[in-house]
Amino acid sequence: MRASRVAAGYGAKVAIAEPGRFGGTCVNVGCIPKKLFSYAAHWREDFHLAAAYGWTSGEPRFDWPTLLRNKDREIARLNGVYERVLVDAGVEIHRGRAEILDGNSVRVNGRAHSAKHILVATGSWPQLPAIPGIEHAITSNEAFALERLPRRAVVVGGGYIALEFASIFHGLGVETTLSYRGKRLLRGFDAELGTRIAEEMSAKGVGIAFGCEPAALRKRDSIEIEFTDGRIAQTDLVMFATGRRPNTAQLGLESAGVKLGADGAVIVDRYSASSIPSIHAVGDVTNRVNLTPVATAEAMWLARTLFRGEPTAVDHDMVPTTVFANPNLATVGLSEEKARERFGAIDVYKTSFRALKLTLGDNPERTFMKLVVDPASQRVVGAHMIGADAGEIIQGVAIAVKLGATKAQFDATIGIHPTAAEEFVTMRDKAA
Task: Just list the catalytic residues.
Answer: 417
Q: CB 391: neighbour CB atoms within 10 A? A: 17
- Parallel, antiparallel or unpaired: strands 175-180 and 207-210: parallel
143 neighbors 162 (Cβ within 8 angstroms): no
178 neighbors 163 (Cβ within 8 angstroms): yes
158 neighbors 180 (Cβ within 8 angstroms): yes
4 neighbors 24 (Cβ within 8 angstroms): no
Tell me how far apart the alpha carbons of residues 10 and 305 are, in angstroms, rounded to a whole number.
11
Buried residues in 52-63 as b, exposed as e (16+ CB within 10 A) = eeeeeeeeeeee
Rg (CA), the chain: 23
242 neighbors 157 (Cβ within 8 angstroms): yes
Buried residues in 336-360 as b, exposed as e (16+ CB within 10 A) = bebbeeebeebbbbbbeeebebbee
* Cis upstream peptide for 311 (omega within 30°): no
CA 411-414-415 angle, to 5 degrees, is: 100
Buried residues in 171-185 as b, exposed as e (16+ CB within 10 A) = bbebbbbbbbbeebb
Q: Counting Cβ atoms within 10 Å, is residue 416 exposed (0-12), middle (13-18) or buried (19+)?
A: exposed
Tell me how far apart the alpha carbons of residues 320 and 401 are, in angstroms, rounded to a whole number.
10
Q: How far is C-alpha 49 from the geometric centre of its chain's CA atoms?
A: 28
